[in-house]
Amino acid sequence: MTAHNPFDSTLILDGIRSWVEIETPTEAPEQVNKLASLVCSLYRDLPARIERIAGRDGCGDHLVARSAWGQDAPGILILSHLDTVHPMGFINRLPFMVEGNSAFGPGIYDMKGGAYLAYHAFRQLCAAGSQSPLGITQLYVSDEEIGSPTSRGLIEQEGRKAKYVLVTEPAREGGKIVTGRKGVGRFEIFVKGVPAHSGTRPQDGRSAIRELANVIQTLEAMNDLRRGITVNVGVVKGGTRPNVIAEQAYAQVDARLPTMADADEIVPRILNLKSRSEGVSVQVIGELNRPPYERSPAGAALYEHARALAAEIGFELIDMFTGGGSDGNFTAPYTATLDGLGVDGKGAHTHYEQLYVSSLEPRARLLYRLYQTLR
């Protein structure tokens, strides 16, 4: 560590590399746990208590690191995830490497870079020998990329106890921070008809595929780009052979909803879809997986505080609303939440995923200053 600059980008990038080179697909809990063990080891010499919560339902462990101070009052919760979307072996296609201002690797942008920054800023706070005004709790979950099914309860529990929530998801569009996200609904549609020979007895059949086409048209009509409502039928399956009237059809649907009022309108409409064909049944299952993250007065004040700190550090912090969901959606309805505090870069979930090395020092310093100044 350089004595003059504990936020040296080369130092930080070395740490991020050690996290990136442990591949952590959500569906490989043993790999996620391998990284979790590394993270645990990094806290051993810090004034913090680590709680490791055993994974379940095919997911890895979750980690909660609590500062040794300030745990008797609402404090700062930092939300990060250790899992990535990239399958095992993807690092052979996208090895860690640095080219100019870009560092590449699976999950480096979404979100191992940001997760490491939060840890690094905490380490520097401890190294400075000073305690932050508020207690700090860092939560690392193992299943964010599949909707946080096993960590949502923990996120909400810790979020309700916190005064502020900082989310280390990556920055957007040139370093913008996130102060609002759409809610996310996920649904499955099962259609059951009556099979028949399409040539000799078509009148005996009731096509599940034809009814699914009706359902899809109904869903498509719910899109309202002016209001920011999107309903996408992303997966469709059905039938067995071209000469058999389809008995079964199936679809998966993703809905993005900017406000709870939108969710209260659209979710029941999807769940209550009915068949328009005699002899054919339609069943819909699903829910609002992540509530909308709407900008609150407390969230706006938190952003303004962060913007002033960024200006002191030397960069402009611009906020935005985005359609993607994060674990911040779970806390924003009741706790001041600021998202997109991770690294800047591009290519999340792609074969060219990268962070910008130049973003490491200023964004690590911003987290450090947030720890120091939030009260």
Q: Under a CB-based contact definition with an 8 Å cutoff, are residues 49 and 165 in contact? A: no
Residue 276 phi, psi dihedral angles, 5° rounding = -100, 5
Q: What does the pLDDT average to over 285-289? A: 96
Same domain, 240 and 321: no
pLDDT tens, position by position, 4-39: 799 999 999 999 999 999 999 999 999 999 999 999
Range of the domain at 168: 9-180+293-373
CA distance 292 to 298: 16
Angle at 33 between CA 31 and CA 38, to 5 degrees: 105
In a domain, 350, yes or no: yes
Classify the phi-psi angles of 233: left when phi > 0, otherwise alpha if psi is within -120 to 50, otherwise beta. beta
* 81: β partners: 141
Same domain, 156 and 56: yes
Residue 130 clears pLDDT 90, i.e. is over it? no
Same domain, 126 and 215: no
Same domain, 221 and 357: no
pLDDT tens, position by position, 206-248: 999 999 999 999 999 999 999 999 999 999 999 999 999 999 9
Same domain, 280 and 334: no
State the pTM of this model. Answer: 0.92
Same domain, 226 and 309: no
Same domain, 194 and 252: yes
Same domain, 100 and 214: no
Same domain, 249 and 326: no
CA distance 38 to 112: 13
In a domain, 254, yes or no: yes
Q: Which of 81, 289, 257 is nearest to 181 (CA)?
A: 257
Q: Is 133 exposed, middle or buried (0-12, 13-18, 19+ CB in 10 A)?
A: middle
- Output the pLDDT for position 4: 79
Of 290, 318, 351, which closes a domain? 290
Q: What does the pLDDT average to over 161-186? A: 96
CATH number at residue 17: 3.40.630.10
In a domain, 2, yes or no: no
Give me the number of domains the chain comprises.
2
Q: Which of 318, 305, 313, 307 is nearest to 361 (CA)?
A: 313
In a domain, 1, yes or no: no
Q: Which of 105, 173, 181, 95 is nearest to 344 (CA)?
A: 173
Same domain, 148 and 36: yes
Same domain, 38 and 173: yes
Residue 1 clears pLDDT 50, i.e. is over it? no
Q: What does the pLDDT average to over 34-57? A: 98
Residue 2 clears pLDDT 50, i.e. is over it? no
In a domain, 246, yes or no: yes
Extract the tokens encoding 322.
Answer: 């985005």
Residue 173 clears pLDDT 90, i.e. is over it? no
Q: What does the pLDDT average to over 93-121? A: 98
Q: Under a CB-based contact definition with an 8 Å cutoff, are residues 326 and 144 in contact? A: yes
In a domain, 147, yes or no: yes
CATH number at residue 223: 3.30.70.360
Of 267, 290, 313, which closes a domain? 290
In a domain, 107, yes or no: yes
Of 262, 290, 318, which closes a domain? 290
Same domain, 278 and 346: no
In a domain, 4, yes or no: no
CA distance 193 to 281: 7
